[in-house]
Amino acid sequence: MFLHSILAFMAGLQLAAGKVYDTRFKGTTWDDEKWILKTTNLDQGHYQSRMSLANGYMGINVAAVGPFFEVDTPVDGDMIGGWPLFNRRQTFATIAGFYDSQPTTNGTNFEWLYQYGGESVISGVPHWSGLHVAVGDDLLDASVPSDQISDFSSALNIRHGLMTWSYTWTPSSGSAIDIEYSMFVHKLNVNQAAVQLKMTAKEDIKVSVIDLHDGDCAVRTDFVGKGFMDDMPVIWSAVSPNGLSDIHAYIYSAMIGDDSCDSSSRTQYTDKSVIGQNKSSIAQAVAVNLSAGKTSTVTKYIGGASSDAFDDPQSTAMAALLAASNAGWNKLYASHCNEWQSIMSTETVDDYRDPDSGLLPDDDNIVELAITAVTNPFHMLQNTVGARAIEAADGNNKLDLNSIAVGGLGSDAYAGWIFWDAEVWMAPGLVVTYPDAARQIAEYRVDKFAQAQRNMKTAYQSSQNETGKFSSNSAVFPWISGRFGNCTAAGPCFDYEYHLNGDIGLEFYNYYAVTGDSPFFKKELLPIYDAVAQLYAEVVTYNETSGKYDLYNATDPDEYANFQTNVGFTMVLMHTHLNTANTLRARFDMPENETWADIASKINIPVNEKAGIILEYAAMNGSIEVKQADVVLVDDFLDYPNPYSLNNLDYYAGKQSLNGPGMTYGVFSINANQISPSGCSAYTYELYGSQPYTRGPWFQYSEQLLDNYEANGGTHPAYPFLTGMGGANRVAVFGYLGLKLTLESLNVDPNLPPQILNLNYRTIYWQGHPISAVSNQTHTTLTRTGKPLENANSTFTDSPIPVTRDVDDASRSGNSTVWHLPPGGSITIKNRQIGEIKTVPGNIAQCRPVTSNRNYEIGQFPLAAVDGAVSTKWQPTHLNVPSSLTVSLPEPFVPVTTLKFDWAQSPPSSYRVTFSNSSSGSDSVEVASDDDVEISDAYVAARAADIVPYASNTTNVTLETPVWSGRFATLTIKGNRALEGTGEERNGTGASVAEFAIVGEGGEDLVGRSTGVW
């Protein structure tokens, strides 16, 4: 019995230890139970290592070594942010909506439009979280010498919305001091934040603690005022955004210490070497007498407000500060934690754990998906204000009028502007689970609707300058938007990305499908939806020759191609928007607009019938390089019966630029899961859409595969790139569950790739009713659980929800199976299991585990060579050394008769295939080889502009005598024939392998019995 108890205890320890996982980032671990990222790697002066903290109203970016202001250390001479500011990279802090008014920006789209007005760029506020320690001439700040720091660790507790730092600081002029910082931005009380410092000295020592507001962070502002209060340990600073002297932001802070603090020593700190030269900088300092081995605590409370949301921001900030300091750290922190836990719980994130053991699979890729399933929504939700926070602010609905910027509230990336990124990339994955938080994305457009209507009067500034063409019933939103929502040089309304307006419509529709909130939709959103329909009806031109409607001088999401005719995604979007507008009108007993219906039926969607694809624009040729997801968005987002779906997927996969932004491949994953008849490329694409863009230690995304602008095509990447996180956050629900948001039914089409054995999806809402979904490899169970939203569609309160499988509006009326999901009940449906369908019949290598012995190009994963799709590929980094990938084959072993290779556009000079029964390959047997691989589809410059179906170089080998498969198959390649005759012939990138198929004799039946062997 005693031995049994010991074994049980040890097993429990192993289980607990197993919940902390190493990541691929140096010194960084993930606690899957507590949701804590922890790093022991100190990386100072680099924006990738900094964390942003926010609550949807106040936001701030902090240094790697503590809650400090920091300026980047140049990397290869570069410390510049991206378009349009091209400013110095440094920490940033702001308040939601705190935009300025300035004449120009360093970069723009159409400079000549400046004659009609300037831009509105997000302004900063003084960096308010600094709590520094001074010992003699030594200062603990962002640039503290790294050799003074030991035993460093920093952690992000996502469950609690808490950032911590812990290390020993050994100043040159004193003994070692153990330092602990903790910091949060209050999620419920949006005007509050707090920082706590704990110090434990090895010897008795006197230090100074400095509470700093660093004005160097208050970029694009004018100084308003600052103050040092004599009767309270409080300082404050105030600024106005450039060009708007009537708008003010106030930051207050109080520094409160324990008995070790000498309050009589408190003074205004004025050392310019610490606080800088900016007028809005201010600091206070207090002496702290540290006793050896005894911990001293200093807490900094912050109150902040601007006049955008509060009539008296100074009083609001001061009141928030006093309330925070009176509550004290523990009470304040507890209410903050409670709010985060009411928003994010285990049920609100996708769960990859084994349902029996409660542990994640022994698979680094799955572990990382499990991490980003938590971090991605967290990073976005930080930039939203929830319903409870608005209620706590006395129902101040002005807090709900700000959308989500590309980099959030801790970054001025892309000038803090609002793009389609919020509606198309962030909103879908957020709204299905966090509809309260996502509502502000719609509310921002509602707030700017009147300006969008006025924007129609600026058509004269464009090629649409035609008297009487546009009516007062239409509205147009600018490509980018800040404070005003007007047309600008960087954000034109005409002759540019008209799809934005339909993107807004998509977000409105999705919000309605998720919440079922008919009163809000009808009153606030439907008028805008109709105004966009009217815009689309008026911006097109009827072509008498073709009998169709054309769109001129437009840009699709692919911004490499401007001023084009009939841009593909936009044309389909206009078609579906016009039709859906009438569908919505019918739903609310409003008359059909026959003009819209007629135009929708005659929208000129560009198609190349020979290649079987939708063109990105009418004049497109085969040399196109695509910046980001474009035509492939049709199948992902639009309710359109597309006969070219699979061809579009394969064709445009080969045309994507490596220098495009990091949200594209989530779309490819979702489409592959929906469209591909076989294989598991959806999983490959999901990894491609996340891993190459993720940066440690905080799992924030970069805009680019490579952050070096000299290597990525000249882009200084936005960071953190919430757009990419939003794109990745869509994959599980919209891809593997196959959710298509519709009003008439809950429409799903589940299929898990073979690599993911179990997936417990985050709670989703349909028409305001919560639904849980759980998939294993073969089946998916949907269950109605939890409390409906306040304004949920009451039709389903006591009635079943209709569930359909992958149908469009045309067939939803009765041509598909309908399940009925009753209140409190469950239904189970079969998965499609396309991973078990062989693209090459009898291929025993498809979707099997695979490894490589060499480095490979970013995102060109080894598993791409066996995922059953020629649109993905493995590509080693170097051509001049042999590179191998080894596939773990299933049992029972089978006689292999054929090998098939798809080399894409870059075949190797040589290849060799061996089978073995050991992972080391010591018992390997050569199966086939070739030292002079033939090119079957050579590049011909004269035909580069031709649009042709996807074609590649292939090699097929029929073995004279069948060879038994064994446990492992290894493909070794060398050289790259596509680079022969070029300057990279000897030292360029390796060849590519789009597909490596091992065909077994009778393998189809045998492999079917080995499902689930990993």
Is residue 208 a contact partner of residue 314, using CB atoms and an 8 Å limit?
Answer: no
Query: Residue 948: enclosing H or E segment and its boundaries?
Result: none
13, burial (CB in 10 Å: exposed 0-12, middle 13-18, buried 19+): exposed
- Rounded Cα distance between 236 and 233, Å, is 11
Instruction: Show which residues are catalytic.
Output: 559
- Dist. CA 449–CA 455, nearest whole Å: 10
Backbone angles phi, psi at 461, to 5 degrees: -80, 0
CA 13 vs CA 10, 28, 31: distances in Å: 5, 21, 14
Type and span of the H or E element at 960: strand 953-964
Assess contact for 851 and 895: CB atoms under 8 A: no
Under DSSP, the state recorded for 833 is: -
DSSP 350-384: -B-S-TTT-S--S-HHHHHHHHHHHHHHHHHHTT-
* In contact, 901 and 911? CB cutoff 8 Å: yes
Percent helix, strand, coil in the chain, to 5, is: 30, 25, 45
Distance in angstroms (rounded) separating the CA atoms of residues 132 and 352? 41
Nearest Cα residue to 899 out of 977, 970, 974: 970
Beta bridge partners of 95: 58
Q: Determine the Cα–Cα distance for residues 347 and 643; give it in Å rounded to an integer.
A: 37
Which helix or strand (DSSP H or E) is residue 636 part of?
helix 633-637
113 phi and psi angles, rounded to 5 deg: -75, -10
**Mutual orientation of helices 722-729 and 364-381 as an angle, nearest 10°?**
120
CA atoms of 452 and 38, how far apart (whole Å): 45
CA 68 to chain centre: 26
Q: Coil, strand or helix: which one is 957? A: strand
**Residues forming a β-bridge with 88:** 80
Matching residue, tokens 């739903």: 587
Lookup: tokens for 32: 């899957």
CA distance 972 to 802: 52
Question: Which DSSP symbol is given to 433?
Answer: T
Identity (one letter) of the amino acid at 391? E
Using DSSP, state whether 25 is helix, strand or coil: coil
For 824, left (φ over 0), alpha (ψ -120 to 50), or beta?
left
Question: How far out from the chain centre does Cα 906 lie?
Answer: 31
> What type of residue is 617?
Y
* Beta strand residue intervals within 428-558, DSSP E: 541-543, 548-550
Whether the bond into 145 is cis, omega within 30 of 0: no
Rounded Cα–Cα distance for residues 669 and 736 (Å): 9
